[in-house]
């Protein structure tokens, strides 16, 4: 199902022509209207007229979260405050929050990207969407909300929390599409089962999930629980919000709305641009944003891009699932480990739930990792020997996946914390600062 077939199936040549025009316009706008860009580009000796080809984007310096924080709150706005119609912001847990400003046209552009994503998931005007993403300053809830209005679907803006009420509403309102983080989606299904409700009876036709790291095994778990396909949604506050990339029915990577976001992959260490299918850090540029154009933003998300046309007929670049972040990886004994690797390893073993916690400590001079994993109900009542067997199997599986030995502790079902927003998977108790 296409929302905007003309753009979504445009030839690469036409698309690149359109991207270049928009890039030139955006760079000019940023240079002329935002002192931060004017100074930064002037200091680097690069000017709007130097952007003659798409490759010339590489002449421009990167922008990072620190730059955005330094410009707090309105230093990167390109229009007068009277033209900014909405403001969103990150949580600011690691310093000053990042502020995102939108004009009326920006809000429509944002709605367009999420409308395309809903179309990829087969969701349209006859659907009822239950949106469990948070509203408020977080962009998650609103991105989906605006997109659903655009495609003409009915939205239930329930936001996070009230798990049993969520289940009741899904059942009573005839919800056909659930939007949730993967961990909360699984939690919803588990609570439904505890209450004697089969999640498959909800008759969902699609699940849109995002906002946290996940593995293919988690997707399968979600799909098996609800009996519905689960599609990955990617976005970030800095660039606009959800809708930057969404999976289609093929589930082979997320289609990027390339006429609105220009993607690059770089080597995190050198900053050099990498080619197709090479894994590196995703860098994104707004190509159509009036209020706050962000050019060459380093996302810290690790992925790769392919330009192979997709079996769904769309021609836009696809990014692979995010496998980690350049900054939230755990560096243990000199080895970079991502929570997703540990998740993949423990779910291969079976007899455990997809709820786990990675605790990193340094009791002396050596790092130690403990992985707490919830045992399945059956296993927990099977006795000590079975528990010990599974613990060593998980430890072996993690070692095969990461090359690191970890201590595995099985804990009783439902004893680890549940999260309605992003799941917190790592507790690093080392004093590394």
Question: Is residue 246 in some structural domain?
Answer: no
Q: In this structure, what CATH number is given to the domain that contains residue 335?
A: 3.30.300.30
Q: Which tokens sit at 172?
A: 């009573």
**Does the residue 379 lie in any domain?**
yes
pLDDT at position 433 is 46
Q: Let me know if residue 7 belongs to a domain.
A: no
Residue span of the structural domain in which 378 resides: 330-428
Would you say residue 378 lies in a domain? yes
Sheet holding 261-266, edge to edge: 261-266, 280-286, 297-303, 324-325
Torsional sign, CA 345, 349, 350, 352: negative
**Site of tokens 């200091």:** 43
Query: Looking at residue 191, what is its pLDDT?
Result: 93
Q: Is residue 118 in some structural domain?
A: no
Q: What is the pLDDT of residue 326?
A: 76
Contact 281, 219 (CB under 8 A): no
CA 319/CA 244 separation, integer angstroms: 10
Look at the chain and report how many structural domains it folds into: 1
Report the pLDDT value the prediction gives residue 382, as an integer from 0 to 100: 73
DSSP string, 165-208: HHHHHHHHHT--EEEE-HHHHHHHHHHHHHTT--GGGG---EEE
| 315 domain residue, yes or no | no
* Per-residue CA distances from 177 to 142, 212, 216 (Å): 16, 19, 20
Q: Tens-digit pLDDT profile for the chain (433 aa)?
A: 999 999 999 999 999 999 999 999 999 999 999 999 999 999 999 999 999 999 999 999 999 988 999 999 999 999 999 999 999 998 665 568 899 999 999 999 999 999 999 999 999 999 999 999 989 898 989 999 999 999 999 999 999 889 999 999 999 999 999 999 888 899 999 999 999 999 999 999 999 998 776 778 889 999 999 999 999 999 999 999 999 999 999 999 999 999 999 999 999 999 999 999 999 999 999 999 999 999 999 999 999 999 998 999 999 999 998 877 777 677 777 777 878 888 888 888 878 888 899 999 988 777 889 999 998 888 877 778 888 999 999 999 999 988 889 999 999 989 998 887 778 888 888 865 4
As a whole number of angstroms, the distance between CA 433 and CA 429 comes to: 11
Please report whether residue 193 resides in a domain: no
CA distances from 287 to 57, 204, 292, 343, 377 (A): 12, 35, 11, 36, 50
pLDDT value of residue 298:
97
Residue 213 falls inside a structural domain = no
């Amino acid at each position: 199902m296409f929302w905007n077939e003309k753009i979504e199936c445009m030839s690469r040549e036409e698309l690149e022509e359109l991207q270049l025009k928009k890039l030139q316009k955006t760079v000019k706008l940023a240079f002329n209207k935002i002192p931060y860009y004017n100074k930064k580009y002037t200091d680097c000796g690069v000017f709007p007229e130097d952007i003659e080809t798409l490759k010339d984007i590489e002449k421009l310096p990167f922008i990072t979260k620190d730059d955005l924080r330094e410009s707090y709150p309105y230093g990167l706005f390109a229009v007068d405050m009277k033209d900014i119609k909405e403001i969103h912001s990150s949580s600011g847990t690691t310093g000053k929050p990042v502020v995102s400003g939108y004009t009326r046209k920006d809000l429509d552009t944002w709605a367009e990207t999420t409308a395309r994503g809903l179309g990829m998931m087969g969701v349209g005007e006859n659907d009822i969407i239950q949106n469990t993403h948070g509203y408020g300053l977080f962009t998650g809830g609103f991105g989906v909300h605006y997109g659903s209005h655009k495609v003409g679907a009915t939205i239930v803006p329930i936001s996070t929390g009230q798990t049993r009420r969520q289940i009741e509403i899904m059942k009573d309102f005839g919800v056909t599409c659930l939007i949730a983080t993967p961990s909360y989606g699984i939690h919803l299904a588990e609570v439904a089962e505890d209450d004697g409700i089969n999640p498959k009876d909800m008759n969902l036709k699609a699940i849109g999930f995002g906002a946290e790291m996940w593995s293919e095994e988690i997707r399968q778990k979600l799909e098996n629980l609800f009996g519905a396909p689960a599609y990955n949604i990617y976005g970030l506050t800095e660039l606009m919000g959800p809708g930057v990339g969404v999976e289609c029915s093929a589930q082979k990577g997320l289609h990027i709305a390339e006429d609105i976001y220009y993607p690059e992959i770089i080597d995190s260490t050198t900053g050099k641009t990498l080619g197709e299918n090479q894994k590196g850090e995703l860098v994104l540029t707004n190509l159509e944003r009036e209020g706050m154009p962000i050019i060459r933003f380093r996302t810290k998300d690790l992925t790769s891009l392919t330009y192979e046309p997709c079996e769904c007929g769309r021609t836009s670049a696809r990014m692979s699932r995010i496998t980690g972040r350049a900054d939230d990886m755990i560096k243990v004994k000199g080895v970079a480990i991502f929570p997703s690797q540990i998740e993949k390893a423990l779910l291969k073993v079976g007899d455990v739930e997809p709820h786990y916690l990675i605790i990193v400590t340094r009791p002396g001079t050596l790092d130690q990792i403990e992985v707490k994993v919830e045992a399945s109900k059956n296993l927990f009542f099977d006795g000590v020997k079975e528990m010990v067997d599974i613990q060593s199997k998980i430890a072996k599986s993690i070692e095969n996946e990461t090359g690191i030995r970890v201590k595995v502790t099985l804990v009783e079902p439902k004893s680890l914390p549940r999260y309605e927003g992003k799941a917190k998977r790592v507790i690093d108790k080392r004093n590394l600062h």
